[in-house]
């Protein structure tokens, strides 16, 4: 079964700083990859997804993620964060066609 690890439990940074959140998965075959975000008090939202093609994926709100097959990684990046990016971020990988395996999540706090 797939397992997903997120390296950082809590990240604190200032506005305009760059953000990179690590995500590694265990399975080496064909893989789909997701990043979800949960803003305070809100539901989980899909930030971006990778199925195939260009390994650099653009998502909503200026986020992007890069799939590096050789490193089993799918790190999330944003060049310049805003206070409104304060949220919890989850990396997820399907274990099969439908069962998503989530990382433990990274809480990002952006200080104004």
Partner 1 sequence: NAGVMQNPRHLVRRRGQEARLRCSPMKGHSHVYWYRQLPEEGLKFMVYLQKENIIDESGMPKERFSAEFPKEGPSILRIQQVVRGDSAAYFCASSPPAGPETQYFGPGTRLLVL
Least distance in angstroms from the C-beta of 80 to partner 1: 27
Site residues, partner 1 (CB under 8 A): 4, 6, 32, 34, 36, 42-46, 49, 90, 92, 94-95, 97-105
78 or 103: CB nearest partner 1: 103
Q: Shortest Cβ distance from residue 79 to partner 1 (Å)?
A: 26
Rounded to the nearest whole angstrom, what is the least distance from the CB of residue 53 to partner 1 in the complex? 15
**Strand segments (E) across the chain:** 4-6, 10-14, 19-21, 23-25, 33-38, 44-50, 56-58, 64-68, 73-78, 87-94, 100-102, 106-111
Query: Which residues have a Cβ under 8 Å from the Cβ of 30 and sit 6 or more positions away?
Result: none
């Amino acid at each position: 079964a797939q397992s997903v690890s997120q390296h950082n439990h809590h990240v604190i940074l200032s506005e305009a700083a760059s953000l990179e959140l690590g995500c590694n998965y265990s399975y080496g075959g064909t893989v789909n990859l997701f990043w979800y975000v949960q803003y305070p008090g809100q539901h989980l939202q899909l930030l971006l997804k990778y199925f195939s093609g260009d390994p650099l994926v653009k998502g909503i709100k200026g986020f992007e993620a890069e799939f590096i097959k050789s490193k089993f990684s799918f790190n999330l990046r944003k060049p310049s964060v805003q206070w409104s990016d304060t949220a919890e971020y989850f990396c997820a990988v399907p274990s099969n066609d439908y069962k998503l395996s989530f990382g433990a999540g990274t809480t990002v706090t952006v200080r104004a």
